[in-house]
Structure 1
Amino acid sequence: MHDLSGFQRDLLYVISGFERPSGQEVKTELEQYIDGEINHGRLYPNLDTLVNKDYVEKGPIDRRTNYYAITEKGREAIRNRRGWEDGYRSIEA
């Protein structure tokens, strides 16, 4: 996951929390977290990067809407990231 931006990591975490969210559902969920608007020009190229790096798969819901689903590589990246983060947490935190 070291090859992803912070925004891409956030997208990956959001996608992992749903079964097959649409891009709009991912956008809405992440906007609640960041308390701001994400434009399509930022969202979809970053989703495509996750697809191209095999962290996420993309498929059609209908003619205009795609779903995004985390892959095994994406799940493994999240597990590895959590393990790395845990190594830097103090026991008291």
Structure 2
Amino acid sequence: MYDLTGFQRDLLYITAGLDDPHGLAIQDELGDYYEEEIHHGRLYPNLDTLVEKGLVEKSQRDKRTNEYSLTRRGEREIQARADWEAEYITHDS
């Protein structure tokens, strides 16, 4: 996951956390987080990068809607990142 941008990492986390991860739902969730509109020209090329890297799988729901889901590799990468972060971030003061 070290080679992903922060935006791509956020896409991966949102895809993992949504009950119905399709393009517009992911776009809305990112817009809420970033507090700005996320344009298609930014969203879909980055989702395609995650697909190319084998972290996300893309399927077609209908002629207009793509669905996205994490692959096993994507799940492992998220877990590895969480483990790595836990080494440096402690919640006990």
- Alpha carbon RMSD of aligned pairs, Å? 1.2
Could you state the TM-score of these two structures normalised by the residue count of structure 1?
A: 0.94
CA-to-partner distance for each residue in 1:48-72, whole Å, 9 max, x for gaps? Answer: 0000001000000101110000110
Matches of 1:64 and 1:90 in 2, distance apart? 44
Could you state the TM-score of these two structures normalised by the residue count of structure 2?
A: 0.94
User: Aligned residue for 1:70?
Assistant: 70
Stretches (4+) displaced over 2 A: 90-93
CA-to-partner distance for each residue in 1:23-64, whole Å, 9 max, x for gaps? Answer: 111010111111111111000000000000010000001011
Matches of 1:14 and 1:47 in 2, distance apart? 11
Q: Map 1:35-46 to 2 at 5 A.
A: 35-46=35-46
Count of aligned pairs: 93
Sequence identity (%): 51
Matches of 2:31 and 2:78 in 1, distance apart? 21
Letter in 2 for 1:84: W
Structure 2 unaligned residues grouped into runs of 5+:
none
Q: CA deviation at 1:92?
A: 2.7
